[in-house]
Structure 1
Amino acid sequence: MSNIDFEKFSKYSKPGPRYTSYPTALEFNDDFTYERYLKYLDEGTDKLSLYIHLPFCRSACYFCGCNVVFTSKEEKLSQYIEYLKKEIDILAEHLDTNREVIQFHFGGGTPTFYKAFELDEIVTYVKKTFPNWSKDAEVSCEIDPRFFNEDQMKVFQKHGFNRISFGVQDFDPKVQQEIHRIQPYEITKAAVDLARKYGINSINVDLIYGLPYQTFESFKKTLQEAFTLSPDRLAVFNYAHVPWMKKTMRKFDETTLPAPDVKLQIFQYTIDFFESNGYKMVGMDHFAKPEDELFSAIAKGELHRNFQGYTTKGGANLIGIGLTSIGEGSHYYAQNTKDMKAYEAAIEAGKLPFERGVELSEDDYLRKAVIMELMANFSIDIKRVEKEHGIDFKEYFADALEELQEFVDADLITVTDEKISVGTTGTLLIRNIAMPFDAYMHQYGGNKKSFSKTV
Structure 2
Amino acid sequence: MKQELLDKYNVPVPRYTSYPPANYFHDGFNDYDYADALQASNNQKPELISFYFHIPFCHRLCHYCGCNSYPVPEGEIVDRYVEALHKEIDLVLPLLDNRRKVSQIHYGGGSPTVLPAIELEELNDHVLDKFPTIANPEIAVECHPGWIMEQGWVQLVKSGFNRLSIGVQDFNKEVLRGVNRQSSRIPMEDVMEILRSLDVRVNMDFLYGLPFQTEESFAQTIERAVAMKPDRLVTFSYAHVPWAFPRQQILEKVGLPSGDEKSRMFETAHRILCEADYQPIGLDHFVRKDDELYTASQNGQLHRNFQGYCTRRTTGQVYAFGVTGISQLGTAYAQNTKDIMEYIEKVEAGILPVAKGYLLSREEQITREAIEMLMCNYRIDWNELSEQLSTPARSIKQATAYDEAHLREFAEDGLIEFDKNQIRMTPEGRLFVRNIAASLDKLMLETNKSFSKPV
Name the TM-score, length of structure 2 as normaliser.
0.93
Counterpart mapping for 1:305-454 below 5 A:
305-312=304-311, 313=313, 315-387=315-387, 388=389, 389-392=391-394, 397=400, 399-444=402-447, 450-454=450-454
Q: Secondary structure of the equivalent of 1:369? A: helix
Cα contact 2:145–2:185 (8 A) shared by 1: no
Counterpart residue type for residue 41 of structure 1? L
User: Which residue is 2:64 aligned to?
Assistant: 63
Tell me how far apart the structure 2 counterparts of residues 372 and 61 of structure 1 sit (CA, whole Å). 30
Matched to 2:416, the amino acid is: I
Name the SS for the 2:417 alignment partner.
Answer: strand
Distance 1:298 1:315 in 2: 14
- Following superposition, the deviation at residue 241 of structure 1 comes to 0.5
Does residue 282 in structure 1 map to residue 281 in structure 2?
Answer: yes
Which stretch of structure 1 is more off in the superposition, 145-154 or 47-56? 145-154
Structure 2 partner of 1:295: 294
Q: How many matched pairs?
A: 447
- C-alpha deviation, 1:153, in angstroms: 3.8
Q: Does 1:83 align with 2:84?
A: yes
Please give the residue correspondences for 1:179-328 in structure 2 after superposition, counting only pairs within 5 Å.
179-183=179-183, 187-200=187-200, 202-253=201-252, 256-312=255-311, 313=313, 315-328=315-328
Measure the CA separation in 2 of the matches of 1:381 and 1:438. Answer: 17
Shift in Å, 1:192:
2.5
Residue in 1 aligned with 2:20? 23
Q: Check whether the contact 2:382–2:422 (CA below 8 A) recurs between aligned residues.
A: yes
Q: Is the 8 A contact 2:91 2:350 kept in 1?
A: yes
- Greater mean alpha carbon deviation, residues 352-361 or residues 308-317: 308-317
| 1:366-416 deviation per Cα after TM superposition (whole angstroms, max 9, x unaligned) | 110010000100001121223432241555556433222221001221002
User: TM-score normalised to the size of structure 1?
Assistant: 0.93
Q: Is the 8 A contact 1:6 1:264 kept in 2?
A: no
SS at match of 1:252: helix
Q: Which runs of 5+ in 2 are unaligned?
A: none
Q: What SS does structure 1 have at the residue aligned with 2:446?
A: helix
**Hey, what's the Cα distance between the residues in 1 that align with 2:143 and 2:401?**
45
Bigger mean CA offset, 4-13 vs 60-69 = 4-13
Moved more, 67-76 or 207-216: 67-76
- Asked if the contact 2:107–2:142 (Cα under 8 Å) also holds between the matched residues in 1, the reply is yes
Structure 1 runs, 4 residues or longer, greater than 4 Å off = 393-399
SS at structure 2 position matched to 1:180: coil
Which shows bigger deviation, 386-395 or 355-364? 386-395
Aligned equivalent of 1:10, options 2, 7, 17? 7
CA contact (8 A) 1:10 1:261 kept: no
> Percent identity between the aligned chains?
37
User: Equivalent residue of 2:283, what SS?
Assistant: coil
State the shift of 1:254 in Å.
5.5
CA-atom RMSD in angstroms = 2.0
Q: What is the CA–CA distance in structure 2 between the aligned matches of 1:23 and 1:246, rounded to whole Å?
A: 20
Deviation readout 1:112-134 (Å, 9 max, x if unpaired):
11123322332232323x24122
Q: What is the letter of the counterpart of residue 101 of structure 2?
A: E
Give the Å deviation of 1:166. 0.4
Report the AA paired with residue 321 of structure 1.
F
Do the aligned partners of residues 101 and 150 (structure 1) sit closer, same or farther apart at CA in structure 2, a change above 3 Å counting? farther
Q: Secondary structure at the match of 1:440?
A: helix
Alpha-carbon distance between aligned partners in 1 of 2:318 and 2:228, rounded to the nearest angstrom: 31
Instruction: Indicate yes or no: 2:128 matched with 1:115.
Output: no
Within 2, Cα distance between the matches of 1:251 and 1:140? 31
Distance in structure 2 (CA, Å) of the matches to 1:348 and 1:322? 13
d(CA) in 1 for partners of 2:5, 2:410:
13
Whole-Å separation in 1 of the counterparts to 2:107 and 2:373: 26
On the 8 A contact 2:146/2:184 being kept in 1, the answer is no
* 1:356 to 1:63, Cα distance in 2 relative to 1, 3 A: same
